[in-house]
Structure 1
Amino acid sequence: MKTKHLAVPAQAVWELLVGSGRRDWYYRLTSEGSFEPGAKVRWLDTRGETAEESEVLEMSAPLLLKLRTRFLFAPALAAAPAHELTWELSPERDGTLVSLSWTGSGPAVSLLESEGGAILEGLALAADPEARAALERLPEIGPLAIRDLTPELLADYQRFFDQEAFRDYPAWQSCYCMETLWDGSDEEWAPRTAADNRREMSVRVGAGRVTALLAFDGERPVGWCHYGESTALAGVAHRYGLEAADQQGVGSVACFVIAAQYRGHGVATRLLEVALERLRAKGFRAVEAYPPKKSDGTAQGSYRGPLEMYLRAGFEPYREAGRTLVVRKALQGVPGATD
């Protein structure tokens, strides 16, 4: 069970649980169906595909919602037995105590044990204006220091992803940027937990096997860029079908994470500039990136970097990969730097 006190009335929380529309706090899923005993509810992802199916077992507005649910977004989870999920809202003098509990077995329950706290954090942000206000963009920021990720910066890497990276979108708190390097299948990736990814990435960072940049405001890490040799970024190579013959001498800019308060100040642009400098110094003839062809207007939807930023930096369209436009830039001053 996970619990969290929210400084809002129970009715406000209830409307977020059973209301219509996309739930940005819950993995950007949209419910389809009515919340009433015996009813079936589908949860659609941003592509319109069914990620979950639920049956409403019991409800008492605005205090109790019990669902029998099956995750469908990965074969291992879809094949697992359904689990029961219970939301309980307990009104208190200064808000509501929200409890999220589950019963069952298998990988879905392990995932909930890891992700339950993040689900509640996301709900709190959606429900509480004061919580959102604490993450509003700073009106101005001072100069930032860009540092190469080294084993000596392991604690800063951990601090960034533990405390800063996804404060405004806790649903992604489990990533730790392991997705960029993941060389297994999508089915194996889906049930991985935050602890799994933090542990494996920390080993890689501690051994000097991750090529990335951290932006610092004083001693506070506030921005991240993961880049490197294209074929060494296994998750990127798999997702976008990179062929070794086409990637000789080509680097990749894989992703950006900017702390919420620091967005809109050119931090990603500065990180990109330094990543290009590093790749040029290492002798790469070109660099490519993987922005969405059409932005959904969220920072999460542009975690590969927005297309507009790359075009301003001199990248040009190279090929299409589904919803992604692969863009490439020749690195001047490097022998053979032509597309």
Structure 2
Amino acid sequence: MTTKVKHIAVLTSGGDAPGMNAAIRAVVRSCSYYNIKCSGVFKGYEGLIHNQIEELNARSVRNIINKGGTFLKSARSKDFRAVEGRQKAYANLKKNNIDALVVIGGDGSFTGALKLSEEFNFPVVGIPGTIDNDINGTDYTIGYDTALNTVVEAIDKIRDTASSHNRLFLIEVMGRDAGDIALNAGIGAGAEEILIPEENMGIDRLIESLKKSKKTGKTSSIIVVAEGDTSGKNIFELGQYVEEHLDGYEVRVSVLGHIQRGGAPSCYDRVLASKLGVGAVEALLEGKSEVMIGIVHKTVTIVPLKEALDKRIHKHDMLIKVADITSV
């Protein structure tokens, strides 16, 4: 493996996701393995602009593989959206003799990385880290599996209350543009209905479905709602409408919110993050840039960042069919 890259920096950007620390660890230790320098950028692109950069070694990342969040911190940067901000970031990269950058984050983070690379001819590689699993070119993103398990565990506990009191619970989960969490967690937790942005079933159909379920003997119900679903202006309005048009249930609303982001990463996320972290360093050492390291059919792959930023085509037909069949 021949390369001119002698110093790689790594940062996390956007919303945190369980497994980001494992990815940072893999990047740092891969650099150590290949005998090149590694630095961590604190607070994402904002830290890059303000030169919050520290050299890391293999011991710097000990005991973090099991930790949620990101020890490098994350922040959204308005300044980086401007050319002047990216110029400052690039100047700090050169000031610290950094040859390439690994960016762990989602589509917003990748957009920034691509602009930095295009404007200053600076090598960048992205690692997909977001609980929404909404990045094109990879089957899974870091944090998604952990978030799913967190959501299922929460719904299991809510179901205990629902069944004890003949209640209908509407549970909102994250997913502004993608229904992956809602659909998979809903099936895994045995939800009666699942509402996602990609499939607008309509309020009337929802009411009819719930009435049918009640006639078959169901005394409680769980409806999982992705935050991007448009059946109502918000989940509270949706809950009120359901209560007004459906007799026999007490309706309750539960918004899981940021609990979905936290917690120790699952084994799957730790292993995935480790694979992608190693892959990112090796891609840079092979002279690649403006690419994302993903996982497709259990194989680590390299995808152009522009392709990763394309709108993902969600194919949920099979899962929707499974949800419909198993919720009768």
TM-score by length of 1: 0.28
Which has the larger share of strand?
A: 1
